Amino acid sequence: MSDVPESYARTARTTPTRYKDRATWEQAEIHAVLDSSWVCHLGFTDGEGRPVVLPTIFARVDDRLYLHGSTGSRPLRAAGAPAGLPVCVTVTQVDALVLTKSAFNHSVNFRSVVAHGTAEQVTDPQELAIALDALVDQAVPGRAKDCRPGNPKELAKTAVIRLVLDEVSAKTRADGADDDPEDAGLPYWSGVVPVATVYGAPVPHPGTERELPAYLRDFQPAGAPC
């Protein structure tokens, strides 16, 4: 029987002030959002106290998020300091546009995750190799074993930071168009417009002679609609 808790602890930073009923701290739901995404936004403050938010790719391995960057980037350099770098990482997926008869009630259906903590730079070669493989496989499962790994020159330009998932929550909206009763008779369309990421057929490079690998046939990312 596993000793790993099924839910993350609730904290002031992970408890929303509005629509608390849409929040969850359940690991399974949080991991599902993270595992079906591969772009996040990394928030931190720079050396002069100014807020900065950067998009980057990420991957989850067990209870750790790995974020990719250049050795010259500010957050990755800062995360290499002994104290690490306080960060906030967010991931959002839009599932539908919600159109109502009033402009005020328009909304979106979404799934999102917010994680707080202190990021640290990954320096152990074995962990770095695991993280880099995970970053490739997060977008296209199976790809890490089907491409050349980074050489020493490339690895010298690449940095990865680690954020342990501890202070984290998810929030979801999956409702219909909630028209106000007084708007029911208005002559406007209301409803939901589904939103989905669609992957097209892979297009080979002119210098590629190999047949399409099995992991790319009928490729769809994790969590994509059928």
pLDDT tens track for 152-210: 999 988 889 999 999 999 999 999 999 999 999 999 999 999 999 888 889 999 999 89
Question: Would you place residue 16 in the very low, low, confident or very high pLDDT band (cuts 50, 70, 90)?
Answer: confident
Say what the alpha-carbon torsion angle 221, 222, 223, 224 is, to the nearest 10 degrees. 20
Q: CA 190, CA 44: separation in Å to the nearest integer?
A: 39
Higher pLDDT pick, 220 / 189: 189
pLDDT digits (tens, 9 = 90+) for 47-91: 788 899 999 999 999 999 999 987 777 777 777 788 889 999 999
pLDDT in the model for residue 197 = 87
Question: Would you place residue 17 in the very low, low, confident or very high pLDDT band (cuts 50, 70, 90)?
Answer: confident
* Beta-ladder partners of 154: none
Residue 142 CB neighbour total at 10 angstroms: 13
Q: Please spell the DSSP secondary structure of the chain, one letter per residue.
A: ---S-SBPPP-TTTS-SS-GGGEE-BHHHHHHHHHT--EEEEEEE-TTS-EEEEEEEEEEETTEEEEEEETTSHHHHHHTSTT-EEEEEEEEEEEEEEE-SSGGG-EEEEEEEEEEEEEEE---HHHHHHHHHHHHHHHSTT-GGGSPPPPHHHHHTEEEEEEES-EEEEEEE-------GGGTTSS---EEEE-----------TT--SPPPGGGTT---TT---
pLDDT in the model for residue 3 = 54
pLDDT in the model for residue 146 = 95
Give yes or no for residue 1 having a pLDDT over 70: no
Higher pLDDT pick, 140 / 79: 140
Question: Would you place residue 145 in the very low, low, confident or very high pLDDT band (cuts 50, 70, 90)?
Answer: very high
CB neighbour list of residue 126: distance below 8 Å, 6 or more residues apart: none
pLDDT in the model for residue 221 = 63
Residue 155 CA neighbour count, 13 Å, CB half: 15
Mean pLDDT over 138-146 rounds to 93
Question: Would you place residue 110 in the very low, low, confident or very high pLDDT band (cuts 50, 70, 90)?
Answer: very high
Map out the domains of the chain with their CATH numbers.
20-94+109-175 (2.30.110.10)
Of the chain, the percentage scoring pLDDT greater than 70 comes to 95
Higher pLDDT pick, 121 / 4: 121
pLDDT in the model for residue 5 = 66
pLDDT in the model for residue 80 = 76
